[in-house]
């Protein structure tokens, strides 16, 4: 098989997981890493085991051995990096959100189409085998008509005022923090599971910690305070939100997000209640799927390739009782993306488990509609 060269821009928390995932495919070379300076690019390349380290993303994009650019920079750089890669005819795997605003995402959708390359967004929870099992079962009518979609995505890593991330700076993270960062995952997953679009939202957003101590040095995601000098800064973006939603089939829903919820580490839960049964997936117990019934006992399906449907089976790589996890789901998506790239042009459509740039654009629109709704005091707002 022809080897494919990948280049990573932004090797902080999530970037190295992109590398781990593609490395497992067996036919991908980790060609280069670009950091924010020559020194950091070189150091990160060495740590990750990439051949070259660059101090600018353009140098990485210009490297002829890089065929696929993975964009794992902070949100404010997403548009510039992805757009530059597309202009050079490179395939792009962008981490979420696709861009900082819906307007930027809209442009990237057009630019990707023009470039004729493979372009994906890492809404990675889709890659879990039980998510695909549930999605397939819902599509086959096994829960009846979806009527209620509810859940939450709660974390606690920004609980204290000494916790800080670029996500809290609108210049770097965008107009939203919790909703854009993790609410985007929830909305994408809810739509993906049900096959239904969110059409209307009513949002209530809160900034629980209106001031925080921002470190003067660099701190990557999920790193806790290491002491050192700080500036006390006002926080203008939300760290908590609750949202009512309506879907295109008339189904209703509700979800809450927050990064200031003690004890919740990466607690993403989506439940779909249908006219016959309910199904619930919880990321922190991702090898189990709860099924709720009225006329018979409720069930918990444990991930086991021999027990899950054909939609989920190809995403399960270990026998029952052998837990699969976050990184495996991430790798599943990379396998799907790279199999399309490896097959060559004209590129076939990405498998449904992979979020497209259109999906990324839609999620930006949902988040912006929630902020608009909240800004007006909580009124039903249509997702444009
Ligand atoms: N899919 C997921 O589950 C998931 C999880 C975490 C983060 N993310 C997304 O990934 C992106 C990165 O998040 P993170 O948590 O890894 O952040 P992070 O702050 O830990 O890492 C960002 C990295 O980008 C580097 N960087 C900054 N400017 C750069 C430049 N000009 N060129 C190259 N590198 C530069 C920083 O030095 C840092 O190493 C965000 O958009 C975030 O939303 C997605």
- Tell me which residue has its CA closest to atom 19 in ligand 1: 220
Nearest CA to ligand 1 atom 14: 13
Q: Whose CA is nearest to atom 38 of ligand 1?
A: 12
pLDDT of the residue at 228: 79
Q: Which of 77, 95, 165 to mutate to test the pocket of ligand 1 (most atoms within 8 A of CB)?
A: 95
Confidence band of 313 (pLDDT split at 50, 70, 90): very high
Which tokens belong to 67?
């065929």
Å from CA of 142 to ligand 1 middle: 39
The pLDDT tens digits of the residues spanning 200-215 come to 999 999 999 999 999 9
Asked whether 158 and 239 are in contact (CB, 8 A), the reply is yes
Given a contact cutoff of 8 angstroms between Cβ atoms, the answer to whether 151 and 264 are in contact is no
Q: What is the pTM for the complete model shown? A: 0.97
Query: What is the edge-to-edge ordering of all strands in the sheet holding 28-34?
Result: 52-54, 28-34, 4-9, 68-71, 91-94, 119-121, 355-356
Between 139 and 229, residue with greater pLDDT: 139
Q: Which of 71, 109, 113, 118 is nearest to 90 (CA)?
A: 118
How far apart are alpha carbons 14 and 5 in whole angstroms?
19
Q: How far does CA 349 lie from the centroid of its chain? A: 20
CB-CB neighbours of 157 under 10 Å: 17
Stated as kind and residue range, the H or E segment containing 83 is helix 78-87
Distance 338 CA to ligand 1 centre (A): 21
- Site to probe by mutation for ligand 1, drawn from 11, 72, 337 as the one with most ligand atoms within 8 Å of Cβ, is 72
């Amino acid at each position: 098989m022809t080897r494919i060269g990948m280049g990573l821009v932004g090797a902080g928390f999530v970037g190295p997981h992109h590398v781990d995932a593609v490395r497992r495919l067996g036919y991908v070379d980790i060609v280069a890493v670009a950091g924010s300076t020559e020194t950091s690019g070189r150091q990160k390349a060495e740590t990750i085991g990439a051949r070259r380290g660059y101090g600018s993303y353009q140098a990485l994009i210009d490297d002829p051995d890089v065929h696929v650019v993975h964009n794992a920079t902070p949100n404010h750089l997403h548009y510039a990096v992805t757009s530059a890669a597309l202009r050079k005819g490179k395939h792009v795997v962008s981490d979420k959100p696709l861009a900082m605003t819906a307007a930027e995402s809209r442009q990237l959708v057009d630019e990707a189409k023009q470039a004729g390359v493979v372009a994906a967004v890492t809404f990675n929870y889709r890659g879990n085998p039980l998510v695909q099992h549930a999605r397939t079962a819902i599509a086959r009518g096994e829960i009846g008509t979806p009527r209620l979609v509810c859940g939450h995505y709660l974390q606690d890593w920004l609980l204290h005022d000494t916790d800080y991330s670029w996500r809290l700076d609108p210049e770097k993270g965008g107009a939203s923090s919790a909703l854009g960062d993790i609410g985007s995952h929830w909305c994408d997953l809810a739509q993906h599971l049900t096959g239904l679009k969110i059409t209307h939202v009513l949002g209530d957003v809160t900034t629980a910690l209106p001031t925080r101590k921002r470190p003067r040095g660099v701190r990557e995601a999920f790193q806790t305070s290491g002491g050192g000098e700080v500036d006390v800064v006002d926080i203008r973006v939300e760290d908590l939100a609750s949202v009512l939603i309506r879907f295109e089939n008339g189904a209703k829903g509700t979800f809450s997000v927050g990064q200031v919820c003690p004890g919740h580490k990466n607690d993403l839960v989506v439940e779909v209640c249908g006219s016959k049964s309910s199904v619930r997936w919880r990321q922190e117990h991702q090898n189990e799927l709860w099924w709720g019934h009225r006329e018979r006992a409720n069930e918990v399906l444990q991930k086991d390739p021999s027990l899950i449907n054909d939609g989920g089976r190809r995403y399960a790589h270990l026998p029952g009782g052998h837990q699969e996890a976050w990184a495996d789901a991430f790798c599943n998506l990379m396998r799907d993306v790279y199999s399309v790239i490896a097959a060559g042009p004209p590129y076939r459509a990405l498998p449904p488990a992979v979020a497209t740039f259109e999906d990324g654009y839609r999620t930006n629109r949902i988040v912006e509609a929630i902020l608009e709704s909240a800004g007006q005091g909580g009124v039903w707002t249509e997702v444009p």
